[in-house]
């Protein structure tokens, strides 16, 4: 078992070194190795394959450009790449007007006082299904808050919209998901 781990670690180190010298074969190996996890990440933000792949590819391009800055002492390569691809997805959200739908800010009457995660008891396939039922901007906010664990203030800063609008999207997602969950139980 230990020899397999050492082999995999050496293989990853060789891939990283190849990527640092712009070796296309190494870049392809790294892309293929991380593709499933990073595709799943981008799928949380977008419903359309075009947007998913645009975010993933832009993020991986940034990974390749900045691989020399990766420090294994600070963490795993996948986690580092995950952060870069997530940031690329957020940038794609900000640059695409489809996802920049503004809504009125939440009022005090609408604000929910307790933390409720509509996804806490669902499997991943169900989470993707229900995220796909939400409007694009609401899905993005919902993903950042419930799945990625960002605070309302952090999301507002990333998406460049007010905290009240973030709260509105979260309230909207809870209301829509509650209705969808209720309909599913009736069926």
Per DSSP, the residues of 80-120 read HHHHHHHHHHHHHHHH-GGG----PPPPTTT--SS---TTT
**Is residue 129 pLDDT above 90, yes or no?**
no
Please say whether the beta carbons of 89 and 59 come within 8 A. Answer: yes
Residue 46 tokens, joined: 């977008």
Residue 135 tokens, joined: 């409007």
**Is residue 141 pLDDT above 70, yes or no?**
yes
| CATH number for the domain harbouring residue 84 | 1.10.1740.10
Please give the residue range of the domain that contains residue 132.
124-186
What's the pTM?
0.69
Q: Are residues 10 and 80 in the same domain?
A: yes
Q: Are residues 29 and 73 in the same domain?
A: yes
Please report which confidence band the pLDDT of residue 179 belongs to, taking 50, 70 and 90 as the band edges. confident
Q: Please tell me the predicted confidence (pLDDT) of residue 181.
A: 77
Q: Please tell me the predicted confidence (pLDDT) of residue 98.
A: 59
Q: Please tell me the predicted confidence (pLDDT) of residue 9.
A: 54
Query: Mean per-residue pLDDT for 68-86?
Result: 93
Please say whether the beta carbons of 85 and 53 come within 8 A. Answer: no
Please report which confidence band the pLDDT of residue 112 belongs to, taking 50, 70 and 90 as the band edges. very low
Q: Are residues 82 and 143 in the same domain?
A: no
- The total number of structural domains in the chain stands at 2
In a domain, residue 94? The reply is no
Q: Are residues 7 and 85 in the same domain?
A: yes
Q: Please give the DSSP secondary-structure letter assigned to residue 106.
A: P
Q: Are residues 60 and 138 in the same domain?
A: no
In a domain, residue 106? The reply is no
**Is residue 81 pLDDT above 70, yes or no?**
yes
Q: Are residues 78 and 30 in the same domain?
A: yes
């Amino acid at each position: 078992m230990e020899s397999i781990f050492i082999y995999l670690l050496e293989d990853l180190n060789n891939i990283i070194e190849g990527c640092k010298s712009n070796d296309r074969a190494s870049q392809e190996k790294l892309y293929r190795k991380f593709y499933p996890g990073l595709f799943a990440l981008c799928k949380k933000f977008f419903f359309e394959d075009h947007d998913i792949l645009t975010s993933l590819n832009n993020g991986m391009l940034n990974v390749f450009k900045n691989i020399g800055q990766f420090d294994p002492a600070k963490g795993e390569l996948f986690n580092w790449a995950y952060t870069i691809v997530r940031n690329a997805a957020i940038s794609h959200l900000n640059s695409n007007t489809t996802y920049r739908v503004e809504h009125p800010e939440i009022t005090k009457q609408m604000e929910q006082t307790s933390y409720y995660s509509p996804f806490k008891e669902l499997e991943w396939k169900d989470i993707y299904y229900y995220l796909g039922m939400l409007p694009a901007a609401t899905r993005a906010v919902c993903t950042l808050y419930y799945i990625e664990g960002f605070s309302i203030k952090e999301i507002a800063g990333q998406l460049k919209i007010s905290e009240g609008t973030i709260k509105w999207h979260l309230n909207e997602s809870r209301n829509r998901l509650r209705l969808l969950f209720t309909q599913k139980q009736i069926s």
